[in-house]
A = this chain, B = another copy of it.
């Protein structure tokens, strides 16, 4: 087999915070990285070129949604997910484990996998480690995820352990399926997913077993599902202690800017979350000055932009009054601008953290960022 495209390089470290680069066949991902979520083959309310211009090196697609509509085989016939959605850069796909538990109807889970009904049209489907990997290959995903069981919470310790051990067996089967494909392993990568709830012992067992199998990267799954931030961060920290330094670490489904800042501080390299896009469609903006609800009447006559120094032009060119007007009027452009502003801010935050780690100023940058969020407003003289 020829040399693999996938590689991770640790460029710098500042405390536990890491600055790295993930090489893939479709381009390099600068880490820490935030991956916007393109559930149904689109980052909602953004043109792909805008997503790219925001600084995103990679986006996330969902096996569950795409297998139901338009179907993985259909996407493959049309040249793969990258071509389908006009995004020639890296794509990571979620394996479907999370969505099948949160969205699908009439789920029946057994050792082989999950049988379920589509939330769209009630049609019956089966997902297994083998089928999930096959779908991710059909989509052409650059970074594929093992199939896992994501528990609905609250769950007993015994349930958490049972699901974690099933996910380990599915990890093994995912890996076998991935490597049995002659072409996929050269250009693509496969990540394992650490489970185990908030139990440090279970997280250790899960991480050690996955590392023993050997994956291209490791994700921390099953967090940010309602637990307090400090519990999440403690679990992340405990988990990372058992993961190798020379592989990327991905905290799934996280999160708020503060969640990401604190997780980077503990050594996480990758994130994904619907928060910036979803909040943008609901009138909320993430900025250096904290979160702003544009629906609030106090913005109605405010001529100031959200952030005159933002990298995102939408945050500079439009007044708060205009954004308020669009949100109040239910205008699509309001969703478009706020989504772009939020994704832009998430990328700007990551860029700032990468630069800080490079020059060894992470602690000071973290303080400055926290201070900005507290301030609530740009300089009144602006």
Residues of A within 8 A of B (CB): 40-47, 69-70, 74, 77-79, 84-86, 281, 300-301, 303, 317-319, 321-322, 325-326, 328-329, 331-333, 335-336
Select from chain B the residue with minimum beta-carbon distance to A314.
B47
Q: Give the contacting residue for A42; candidates B42, B77, B321, B326; CB below 8 A.
A: B326
Bound Cα distance A326, B336 (Å): 16
Residues of B within 8 A of A329 (CB): 40, 69
Q: Is the CB of B44 within 8 A of A331?
A: yes
Known contacts A300-B70, A329-B40; A322 and B46 CB within 8 A of each other: no
Select from chain B the residue with minimum beta-carbon distance to A45.
B332
Select from chain B the residue with minimum beta-carbon distance to A49.
B313
Known contacts A70-B321, A84-B319; A45 and B333 CB within 8 A of each other: yes
Q: Give the contacting residue for A332; candidates B79, B318, B332; CB below 8 A.
A: B332
Chain A residues touching B, majority SS: loop
Residues of B within 8 A of A79 (CB): 303
Quote the shortest CB–CB distance from A67 to chain B (angstroms). Answer: 13
Count of identical protomers in the assembly = 2
Known contacts A74-B300, A79-B303; A69 and B328 CB within 8 A of each other: yes
Known contacts A74-B321, A318-B86; A332 and B44 CB within 8 A of each other: yes
Quote the shortest CB–CB distance from A17 to chain B (angstroms). Answer: 35
Q: Give the contacting residue for A336; candidates B45, B77, B318; CB below 8 A.
A: B45
Residues of B within 8 A of A319 (CB): 78, 84
Q: Is the CB of A331 within 8 A of B86?
A: no
Quote the shortest CB–CB distance from A310 to chain B (angstroms). Answer: 15
Known contacts A85-B322, A321-B78; A332 and B328 CB within 8 A of each other: no
Select from chain B the residue with minimum beta-carbon distance to A79.
B303
Bound Cα distance A281, B281 (Å): 17
Known contacts A77-B301, A78-B319, A78-B322; A333 and B47 CB within 8 A of each other: yes
Beyond A41-B326, A47-B336, A86-B317, 5 additional pairs, beta carbon < 8 A: A42-B332, A44-B331, A45-B332, A47-B333, A84-B322
